[in-house]
Structure 1
Amino acid sequence: MKGSRFTEEQIIGMLKEQEAGMTTADVCRKHVVSTATFYKYKARFGGLEVSDARRLRALEDENSKLKKPLAEAMLDNAILKDVASRKW
């Protein structure tokens, strides 16, 4: 999956510009993003501060690191159950 070319700080800055009174079209034109992308950012980062966004990113990274060992353990468990259920 391709990452965003904007950091969380930049995205929150865009949202704050729109909240300050600029039209959505002007903000999108200024930062060269589509309106669909802008609204996707607004759905994800709307109402967040920069520190909240950093914390969200850290939690997402930690979650992905924890999911990988869990998936491997579940796969090992399924393999062992399959082997144990067979008759030799």
Structure 2
Amino acid sequence: MVFSLKICGNYGMGNSTFYKWRDKFGGMETSDINRLKELESENRKLKQMFAELNFKSLLQEEIIRKF
């Protein structure tokens, strides 16, 4: 507990933030964290692609309805 208070004080972080971070990443190796970052990045890209394709599909449907 003293260790977490020192870290929080040094970096201006709240205790709850520290414990959430520790619970999420505490048991991970560096390679696990890197893989998680890669997956999060890929997920963002896929969500963006889906949004763009969905938008294009809606535009096409609107165009078809007008004819």
TM-score (structure 2 length as normaliser):
0.73
Which structure 2 residues correspond to residues 37-48 of structure 1 after superposition, within 5 A? 37-48=17-28
For 1:6, the equivalent position in structure 2 comes to none
**Residue in structure 2 matching 1:70, options 37, 50, 54:** 50
For 2:14, the equivalent position in structure 1 comes to 34
Q: CA RMSD in A?
A: 2.1
Higher helix fraction (1 or 2) = 2
Q: Using the alignment, how far apart are the partners of 2:27 and 2:21 within structure 1?
A: 11
How far off its partner does 1:23 sit?
4.1
Q: Percent identity?
A: 33
How far off its partner does 1:50 sit?
1.4
Secondary structure at 2:37 match in 1: helix
Higher relative contact order (CA 8 A, sep 6+): 1
Which structure 2 residues correspond to residues 5-84 of structure 1 after superposition, within 5 A? 22-84=2-64
Structure 1 counterpart of 2:61, one-letter code: K
Q: Using the alignment, how far apart are the partners of 1:79 and 1:52 within structure 2?
A: 40
Secondary structure at 1:40 match in 2: helix
Q: Using the alignment, how far apart are the partners of 2:17 and 2:24 within structure 1?
A: 11
Moved over 6 A (4+): none
Question: Which structure 1 residue ranges, 5 or more long, are not aligned?
Answer: 1-17
